[in-house]
Structure 1
């Protein structure tokens, strides 16, 4: 893999499925881990080469004639060289021999402005300081963070210096679930200190290969978290007893930490409709949404049945101390306005 492929790419953390609760007392929204599809690596070399070709030998890029180098006295060759051609060759060779310079100083700043760019302009909606503060840690260690793609970085989180946007596709929402999304988002926001911003209803369909940058739909910014009521007919990963899927995608620019930039939650509407019939069905469905949102911001499953992030939830409807400690840590991630 070349240097350009290494530095600019996007990938989703393993989406975590949640099993629907079994009916009866103490039933809960159980969960089972299962990886979903990955967002492919985006090769940017082709776009860059297109730019470089504009200055390649054999093409006219300036209206005036380039100067010629005078022939040295001791040189017996007959022809002078065009400075423009020599300079471009030296530049191209130098860039390919020094990929770090290419990535950090050439490709990264130019990327948002190349045709078909997979990234928005830098720092959209970014503040100089975090928009909120996470609560103090309660000292619990009963949590697990999603694995970082970089061994030198402990965890990946959303940028606290900009709002975490989200949109809702309400199609197929079960009766009685009005307001549950907002309540669950508010709970995760309070537990992390992250500022969530509702950007309205969308017609975007859920997908296992969602594009994190959709300027035609959402403008020149990272795509918001997409929360969808759906079904196994649309998302095969929800087949069987899986009631929800959630995960995020990260981006990276050279010399800066990996940061989550977009995410997705897929809720099985037929399953939720069944759970809503339980005596505490509304609380159970909300717990499912909170669980998936916790995956979106960076929490993994934990081997502690007293936590909402436990893989086999047995009826819990509230975050545990370990869940809250992990979420507070995820709210203290780095600000990266370069993305």
Structure 2
């Protein structure tokens, strides 16, 4: 008998059975790469395989995480390279190299940037919120990517709101409420302001354009949260139940800033998790873990932190190390020129 079979319900409470030893079984690690920076997603409960050697898991994570950090750096470089910014200002009085054209004193008529919003949209002069002080005891935490200084993490701009939209298709009962509650919790611990834009009809979290003026107007596209099947997102094939990441851009030598991202939650497996006894708490922890990745947190080796790659009943919320990292991410640079 599968000890996690949701059909085996408690005849008194109606709840599903608890995993053995009072903890959610170990999550198997997996990862996918693409335009977005996608840290290793969690996987759903199931009959756990024989636990691999600890050293082997650490090596696997290192091999997978490092290429993703490089991917984010390359993505930012592609976005900000001089040849890829068609809206870069050009001095009309200086002819291009090799040109025989006579300079004109009349500048060209300004046009809207073709693939980024007008600079400074919704930007305030000061951060919209302040993260609470980090717990004095601190704790293990890490970041998905850092600035060229090798220390400062890449983060969202705290001087403007971070918009998010939810595609309601396939959402389990209570799923949207759980997402809103998780964003509210994330706002508390980062000081970032998250604004719900309502429902979205975007068909996929994959190969998503970060600027969609025809859909969202003159601003960066909001973070998209979607409940997806394995067919819609092949990264969810098997037991994978969550995937999240953000895209960073910068201007010239300016700081890299996250401007939007995606959160993909498995539409088939999450209802199974919710059927377990205590499943709502586990689902909330999974969503919080993915939102931690969204704003820039990486995995850690400390099993007392929520960003540990394995879900544990004993850690249903952000722990001191997570909170320490989130406080740093809430104090990112304000970049109104983006």
Which TM-score band applies after superposition, normalised by the shorter structure? Answer: 0.7 to 0.9
Q: 3-state DSSP class of the match of 1:200?
A: strand
Instruction: Compute the TM-score of the two structures, normalised by the length of structure 2.
Output: 0.73
Counterpart in the other structure of 2:19: none
Deviation sequence 1:208-253 (CA, Å, 0-9, x none): 3211111001001001000001111110001111110000001101
Counterpart in the other structure of 2:162: 164
- Alpha-carbon offset, residue 255 of structure 1: 3.6
Whether 1:19 and 2:24 are equivalent positions in the alignment is no
Q: 2:230, 2:236 within 8 Å by CA — same for their partners in 1?
A: yes
Q: 2:178, 2:284 within 8 Å by CA — same for their partners in 1?
A: yes
Q: 3-state DSSP class of the match of 2:326?
A: helix
Q: How many residues are treated as equivalent by the alignment?
A: 273
Structure 2 residue runs of 5 or longer lacking an equivalent are 1-33, 49-59, 100-106
Structure 1 residue runs of 5 or longer lacking an equivalent are 1-9, 25-31, 56-86, 96-105
Distance 1:337 1:94, change over 3 A: farther
- Alpha-carbon offset, residue 175 of structure 1: 2.4
Q: Tell me how far apart the structure 2 counterparts of residues 297 and 178 of structure 1 sit (CA, whole Å).
A: 19
Q: 1:177, 1:282 within 8 Å by CA — same for their partners in 2?
A: no
Instruction: Compute the TM-score of the two structures, normalised by the length of structure 1.
Output: 0.73
Counterpart in the other structure of 1:328: 327
Deviates more, 1:273-282 or 1:132-141: 132-141
Distance 1:48 1:247, change over 3 A: closer
Deviation sequence 1:180-199 (CA, Å, 0-9, x none): 01110011110101000001
Deviation sequence 1:114-162 (CA, Å, 0-9, x none): 4xx2211101000001110011011414101112252356210000000
Counterpart in the other structure of 1:268: 266
Counterpart in the other structure of 1:93: 97
Residues 159-308 of structure 1 correspond to what in structure 2 (within 5 A)? Answer: 159-308=157-306
Q: Tell me how far apart the structure 2 counterparts of residues 120 and 153 of structure 1 sit (CA, whole Å).
A: 29
Q: 1:158, 1:297 within 8 Å by CA — same for their partners in 2?
A: yes
Q: Tell me how far apart the structure 2 counterparts of residues 46 and 329 of structure 1 sit (CA, whole Å).
A: 31
Q: Tell me how far apart the structure 2 counterparts of residues 152 and 277 of structure 1 sit (CA, whole Å).
A: 43
Report the RMSD for the aligned CA atoms in angstroms: 3.2
Residues 25-174 of structure 1 correspond to what in structure 2 (within 5 A)? Answer: 41=78, 45=83, 48=86, 91-93=95-97, 113-114=112-113, 117-139=114-136, 140-148=138-146, 150-151=148-149, 154-174=152-172
Q: 3-state DSSP class of the match of 1:229?
A: strand
Counterpart in the other structure of 1:63: none
Q: 2:286, 2:311 within 8 Å by CA — same for their partners in 1?
A: no
Q: 1:11, 1:250 within 8 Å by CA — same for their partners in 2?
A: no
- Alpha-carbon offset, residue 280 of structure 1: 0.7
Distance 1:208 1:23, change over 3 A: same
